[in-house]
Amino acid sequence: MASNNNSSDRQRIAQQRLSRIAAHLHKHEDGNSGIIAKECKIDATGSTEENKGTVPRKRQEIMKWNGWGYSDSKFLFNKKGQAEFTGKRYRLSGMTLPSLQDWFENTFGASVKHKSPATPVLNASVVPPPRLNEAFVENLKATGIPFSNEAEDRVFRAHGHCLHEIFALREGKKFERVPDMVVWPNCHNDVVKIVELACKHNVCLIPYGGGTSVTSALECPPEETRCIVSLDTSQMNRILWLDENNLVAHVEAGIIGQDLERLLNESGYCTGHEPDSMEFSSLGGWVATRASGMKKNVYGNIEDLVIHIKAVTPRGVIEKSCQGPRTSTGPDIHHFILGSEGTLGVVTEVTMKIRPIPEYQKYGSVVFPKFEAGVACLREVAKQRCAPASIRLMDNKQFHFGHALKPQVSSIFTHFVEGLKKFYITKLKGFDPHQLVVATLLFEGDRERVLQHEKQVYDIAATFGGLAAGEDNGQRGYLLTFVIAYLRDLGMDYCVVAESFETSVPWDRVLDLCQNVKERIIRECKERGVQFQPLTSCRVTQTYDSGACIYFYFAFNYRGLADPVHTYEQVEHAAREEILANGGSLSHHHGVGKLRKEWMKDSISNVGVGMLKSVKEYVDPENIFGNRNLL
Amino acid sequence: HPHQATQMSNYCLNILVFVTLQQRDPMLKRDCFEDILEERRNSSDLKYALRCYAPVLYKGVTPCKANMLKNIVLQSDQLHYVINQVSQESGEAPDIIQEEASVILEEMAHRLQISTVRCFAFALSKAFKTLFQHVCVNEEGIQRLQQAIQEHPVVLLPSHRSYMDFLLMSYILYTYDLALPVIAAGMDFMGMKFVGEMLRMSGAFFIRRSFGGDKLYWAVFSEYVKTMLRNGFAPIEFFLEGTRSRTCKSLTPKLGLLNIVIEPFFKGEVFDVNLVPVSISYERILEESLYARELLGVPKPKESTSGLLKARRILSEDYGSIHVYFGQPVSVRSLAQGKVNRSTYNLFPRHIPRKPMEETQSFVNDTAYRIVRLQEDNMVLKPWVLMASLLLQNLEGLELSVLTEQTVWLRGLALSYAAFLDWPAPTAKVVSSSLALHRGLACVSGDRVSLVVGEPLGPVTPEEALFNRAVSVLSCASYRNQVLHVFLRPAMLAVAMLHLSDEVYNCFSFLWDMFSNDFILCPGDTVQDFEEACYLLVKTGAVQMPQQDIVMTDIGQPTLSFFNGLLEPFLQGYQVVCRYLCEEASEGLTEKQYIPAVRSFAVKLILAGNLRCYEVLSSDMQKNALAALLRMDAVRKVKNRMISHINQTPISPSLSLVAVAEDLYRDGLTPSYIR
């Protein structure tokens, strides 16, 4: 049997490789030694036809202007009060979710009768008129790089997805400051030209990638008097070449996650970098914020994935001269760019590692009687360095949340099986439904090793009282991360505000930090007059040798509050203080932006801040990249 | 007295004083009491002892068996770390050290058993009903405590005046169906074989009095306490004052245990810790004359079961009533807000023991003082406390009518200074019932009330007579001491005003510094206390403050003179100590020799008719005076490596002693000046 399997596997792989090579040959007859090259298209006019990316220049054509994601996809409570998810894009699309309403009303003390609808369309009168730098505009026109100063384009790039930003959009509040124009460079050289012109005419540039920031990083500083130009990289979305010998791809930094994976998949590869926002976030954004993907255990975080970065700064282009896998050439200049949050320049091209698409993928899940047991298990898995591609531990609240998203079960049989499972876990195994937690797992690799690996992890889990709970539970856990932002929009339709935030912390402090932060949130909400106890939930989303990343959800019903956003911000501020006091970091992967600037000094010391400042001073003395993030 | 119109330093009164005073002392918001003995007198004690007891616990934790608790401690990272450390230092195998740790824990740990508690509940009901008229508890405080126990780990911090304290606490918590505390008790109880074990089974855990350098002991002890606290298995109870106060003044708080219970908060192991000050006031203290004798150098009897049985005699006496006031829970988190940066704990592994940082130390010290002051604030004062204060200023005795009249006056003064008085009946009645209750201390012959001096049988030497008189003065002083915290600050100001110098504040500050071992004066609060004193004296009309001056008013004379009399024994005591050290102290005087030496010096002075103050014979005052002089560098310890025992370190006066003595003796402060 085994040998049969092996030989058929080998056959399959050989076939895959063949078809892949054939595909390459077919597409690029001149392709040599597995390298697929594309020219940078300088001429801008032809770009729309060439552009295979998901994101059009007019983002609002396919995406919501005041909420998350695609315009056609949203949660709503239908006339029967049942929740459904519209559109066709997702696994949940077109399904009704019968338990969501109950969960929603019970968790938040909210009611589907109390709507708080959003302003349907952008009112142009709330947008300040553009302050254009005429000379800059003239020069820009001459380059042929497309730009716009229409209100809709400018507003779309004036925000990320912080609660206060989306809330303001929904309320139709007047904007204090938005970009004065938007430019769409098509390639590295376009960016060089734009940056040169900006320096020449003293124009403020704010790079814009996927727009998924949750740190106020895209907010225009209200005190900025110069013309602000939003530099939208979305049209720089090509894979320029792919090197199968060294397993690297050279990619334009504006490409968004889903396009990058799709295009690489066509060639049989992937990056394995899957942040929760990968549908919309861009490669350049990942670099600029030090992003982390859920499968980092196999593929690494963004800093492990990049081999070469090309970025345009007011001083000129910065890049390394070789693609050596590791160098000892003083402090790594990549690390000035990684996490620079758009304050030093624009990342234009990145060479990053790629891997063949894994042969086999398997989800899994383990139920633990208590959060403590789950954390102990994850710690042990990290200690033995046998973490699967992804391993996450959801607390009890999130477990119930996930369950509320179960679609209507069509067959009586599935219903029966579900009931049986529940009976087994809660009655026979004595797990308290209000205590139990679930770890979701994703294994990748060749089939045999996945199965072996799976057994190893389940064996460890068993020693902590964990019970395997099936693939379905696992997959649903990951689903939650992709639809959570859509769900926030639903909450906001019914007077519930919500946000997430994250940190990283040494293993021995994980439990205490989770508990203290939740308690702090509950207490702060109470003190600030939030009438119904907030939802505070967390999960351990990443494991490292010496610690873990923790992700919090926090939501509350704001009925009766005069200024819900302000209340929310105060509570989040307190929660961050609590995180820091409990040994947590300022951020694991969201970044600092403007939201968490105030803690930078305490986080990296005065000297540290001074170092960063002096780099900024050298690279960008005129503060052309003036989004004022980080420092 | 023109010199009483003195220039004030640059401190002027401001509204802030009033505000802080109101915050510290919410006089109007004190709770009412309920007598828990009343029900005991009307229903079966047996039923009460056997009733269903189901207290609510911290966040609904399941109670932890004593053995499980020990295992958690023995397996903790904290203890393992220290065991390995000790093993490396001593060369012993870790197993052996682990075994040692286990033995220490065995000796220390409580074995709380509900059956034992029920026995106590039964026996104490009987005893309390015989001994006391009432045991009053503020029920609102109990409700607050119940709430606090569910939300956060709770630390009960009762005042400590009597052996009764901790049995009484457990008794009350049992009565109200609250979680029974585990109590830190001194090892000396262990001497009483059977009783020691009984106490252990009612929740006491025993710690050695001193274990200075013993790392392992400290590790076991602190981990044991922290484990109980972190898991919220039971409220932890200990006495901040460290030992029973023999003088009924609050003692300077000890910080060791407080440090231990606060640390889990700083390390993020718990969200908050609630400190609950509890004030236990006895109308008459069981150990009354025992304490006086102890202070006079008759050693404390060793705790023994037979001793306890002998004490049965006390069962036939009336000890009045007890008031137990459970204060507002104090959140460590709120107190520490802005004072301690918890993230400084981030860079050091939490299981490795570490000396607290300076910031933390001063926070814990502040907190300790604050709690003791809260205890003081909620101490219920009986009329006798005021009467004792008056009698001590009139050792030759007072007309009953004068005593009554002055008691009325003093009551008014005390009330306006926010004292917590219990005045159950009209004053005349209250005075006579107090005299009856304390007939061992004061007697009425004809119309005259005076202190009773125990008359021993047979011929008496002058020393014996003096000793007997001192016993009654010190017993009486222990009642007066209970009111000192109310009057202390204005009294120090009153003394400072009699000073000839222009600088009232400087004099106040000198006294404040000098007396800060004797009284609870929060470190760094000199200015605030001065302002409070001014505020109070102005409020009662004793002084006026035109512009920058402090002037006594026409009606202020009785108040200021009473205050001077109140502090006189302390001033005199310190003066005698200074005189002794300046004039008599021999070369190489050790701390151990110091107390008997000062005592016999004072005895000589009294017998010669040069000193009328008996309180200087109190070892407590002598110790405090020496500590103050050492602190002020007026006396120094002579460093000598040959002498290892701390009590045998020779002490020698330094130059500044003369200056301190001069300050104490300056015109305004000499005893002859008063009256």
| Statement: residue B668 has pLDDT above 70 | no
Q: Is A551 among the residues known to form the active site?
A: yes
Do the beta carbons of residue A575 and residue A519 sit within 8 Å? Answer: no
Phi-psi sector, B54: left (phi>0), alpha (psi -120 to 50), beta:
beta
Using beta carbons and an 8 Å cutoff, which residues of A are at the interface with B? 508-509, 512-513, 515-516, 519-520, 580-583, 602
Mean predicted lDDT score pLDDT of chain B: 85
What is the arithmetic mean of pLDDT over B140-147? 95
Say which residues have a Cβ less than 8 Å from residue B426's Cβ, sequence separation at least 6.
none
Task: Assess whether pLDDT exceeds 90 at residue B430.
Answer: yes
Q: Between B268, B343, B351, which is nearest A512 by CB?
A: B268
pLDDT digits (tens, 9 = 90+) for B458-511: 667 888 888 888 988 999 999 999 999 999 999 999 988 886 556 888 889 989
Verify whether the Cβ–Cβ distance A516 to B346 is below 8 Å.
no
Residue B665, pLDDT > 70, answer no
Report the range of poorest mean pLDDT among A204-208, A372-376, B208-212, B472-476: B208-212
pLDDT 10s digits, A409-434: 766 666 666 776 777 777 777 888 89
When pLDDT is cut at 50, 70 and 90, the band that residue B445 belongs to is: confident
Please determine, for residue A499, whether its predicted confidence score (pLDDT) is greater than 60: yes
User: Buried (b) or exposed (e) across A4-25, using 16+ Cβ within 10 A?
Assistant: eeeeeeeeeeeeeeeebeeebe
Nearest-neighbour CA in chain A from B343: distance (Å): 4
Q: What is the pLDDT of residues B84-138, one digit of tens each?
A: 999 999 999 999 999 999 999 999 999 888 899 999 999 999 999 999 999 999 9
Query: Is the pLDDT at B662 greater than 70, yes or no?
Result: no
Q: Which residues of B touch A581 (CB under 8 A)?
A: 268, 341-343
Q: Is A488 annotated as a binding residue?
A: yes
pLDDT bin (cut points 50, 70, 90) of residue B611 is confident
Whole-angstrom CA distances from A485 to A170, A212, A488, A504, B132 are 15, 10, 5, 22, 67
Helix (H) or strand (E) holding B409: helix B400-416
pLDDT (mean) for B168-195:
86
Contact A513 B268 (CB under 8 A): yes
Contact B343 A512 (CB under 8 A): no
More confident residue, A457 or A422: A457
Residues of chain A contacting residue B346, judged by C-beta atoms under 8 Å apart: 583
Q: Is B616 exposed, middle or buried (0-12, 13-18, 19+ CB in 10 A)?
A: buried
User: Who's near A444: CB < 8 A, 6+ residues apart?
Assistant: A295, A298, A358, A360, A361, A388, A389, A450
Question: Which residues, 6 or more positions from B653, have their beta carbon under 8 angstroms from its beta carbon?
Answer: B581, B582, B585, B634, B635, B636
Q: How confident is the model at residue A422, as a pLDDT? A: 75
Over 70: is that where the pLDDT of B7 sits? no
* pLDDT band at residue A9 under the 50/70/90 scheme: low
> Which pLDDT tens digit goes with each residue over A21-74?
444 444 444 434 444 445 455 444 444 445 568 899 999 999 999 999 999 999
pTM, rounded to two decimals: 0.88
pLDDT higher than 60, residue B58: yes
Residues of chain A found within 8 Å of residue B268, distances taken between Cβ atoms: 509, 512-513, 516, 581-583
Pick the more confident residue, A45 or A553.
A553
From A478, A551, A553, A568, the catalytic residue: A551
Distances in Å between the Cα of B653 and the Cα atoms of B587, B603, B631, B657 are: 10, 22, 12, 6
The answer to whether A22 is annotated as binding is no
Beta-carbon separation of A582 and B342 below 8 A: yes
pLDDT at site A2: 41
CB atoms within 10 A of CB A234: 25
Greater confidence, A422 or A13? A422
Q: Report percent pLDDT > 70 for chain B.
A: 86
When pLDDT is averaged across residues B175-190 and rounded to a whole number, the result is 86
The b/e string for A28-37 (b: 16+ C-beta within 10 A; e otherwise) is eeebeeeebe
Contacts of residue B341 in chain A, CB cutoff 8 Å? 581
Instruction: Quote the pLDDT of residue B29.
Output: 72
Count of CB atoms situated within 10 Å of the CB of A546: 11
Nearest CA in chain A to B342: A581
Q: pLDDT tens digits for A97-106?
A: 999 999 999 9
Tell me whether residue A503 is annotated as binding.
no
pLDDT at B672: 33
Between chains, do B271 and A581 touch, taking CB under 8 Å as contact? no
Position B535 scores a pLDDT of 92
State the average pLDDT over residues A492-501: 95
Q: Does residue A411 or residue A263 have the better pLDDT?
A: A263
Burial of B641 (0-12, 13-18, 19+ CB in 10 A): exposed
Tell me what pLDDT residue B59 has: 80
Question: What pLDDT score does B278 carry?
Answer: 97
- Which residues lie below 8 Å from residue A89, measured CB to CB, with a gap of 6+? A70, A72, A73
Q: Is A494 annotated as a binding residue?
A: no
What residue type is assigned to position B502 of the chain? D
Closest by CA position to A159, among listed A126, A206, A121, A195:
A206
SS (H, E, C) A332-345: CCHHHHCCCCCCCC
Specify the pLDDT at position B16. Answer: 38
B379 or B548, which is more confident: B379
Check whether A290 is labelled as a binding-site residue.
yes
Alpha-carbon gap, residue B219 to B102, rounded angstroms: 12
Lowest mean pLDDT among B199-213, B505-519, B531-545: B199-213
- Mean pLDDT for A361-388 is 96
pLDDT at B309: 55
Structure tokens at B292: 């006086």
Mean pLDDT lowest for which of A166-180, B378-392, B622-636?
Answer: B622-636
C-beta separation of A133 from A183 below 8 A: no
DSSP state of B424: -
- Which band of pLDDT confidence, cut at 50, 70 and 90, is reported for residue B593? confident
Nearest CA to B259 out of B232, B233, B240 is that of B240
Chain A to chain B Cβ contacts (< 8 Å)? 25
B326-335: pLDDT as tens digits: 999 999 999 9
